[in-house]
Amino acid sequence: MKLFTSTEFNSFQDLFVNQLEDLYDAEQRLTKALPKMAGAANSNQLRQAFHQHLTETQGHVSRLETTFRQLGIDPKRETCQAMKGLISEGEEVVDGTGDPSIKDAALIAAAQRVEHYEISGYGTARSFALRLGRKEAADLLQQTLDEEKTADQKLTQIAESSINVQAAAQTTATAGSRY
């Protein structure tokens, strides 16, 4: 969404479309960022999770295009400043050096911020679609919302079952005297 220019809010339908355009931009940025996250992951499980979510993310782009078509409008991107920021934080991790397990923990931290942002965006768009009587759009948005939630849960599971354990052990081994 535009942050620094004046935008008029007169039509709920237009607001709905604006939300879709914001998500459309965010998802396309993610299709470029996720391969870099996967490439930077040390853990096979984490790399696979990023690859799987890349495939899902390509589907999210397609679903949004289907929704635009159903609404009779051309797909358009509205620059998502928030996603640009979240991705640039992720790229800082991708470019970072140091212990592989701690870097993996940092990748998960960045990726989960992205998922929560998407969960928020899709929840709102789904509710708008329902209120506007756009059942088909609401169903597609709900499908993506469910995949975002599952991706987030999977990252939590990977973090808590292995990555954070390894990262904490590494910290104790190398920097124990500092704490």
Query: Whose CA is closest to 144, among 67, 89, 81, 79?
Result: 67
Decide if residue 25 touches Fe ion (CB under 5 A). Answer: no
- State the nearest-atom distance from the C-beta of 175 to Fe ion, in Å: 33
- Contacts of Fe ion in 135-164 (CB under 5 A): 148
| Shortest Å, Cβ 163 to Fe ion | 18
Count residues contacting Fe ion (CB under 5 A)?
4
> Can you tell me the distance from the alpha carbon of 80 to that of 120, in angstroms, rounded to the nearest whole number?
14
The answer to whether the beta carbons of residues 162 and 45 sit under 8 Å apart is yes
Which ranges of the chain does DSSP label H, i.e. alpha helix?
12-40, 44-71, 81-94, 100-131, 135-158, 164-175
Which residue's Cβ lies closest to Fe ion?
60
Hey, which residues between 46 and 85 contact Fe ion (CB under 5 A)? 57, 60
- Position 118 contacts Fe ion (CB under 5 A): yes
* Residues at the contact surface with Fe ion, assessed by CB under 5 A: 57, 60, 118, 148
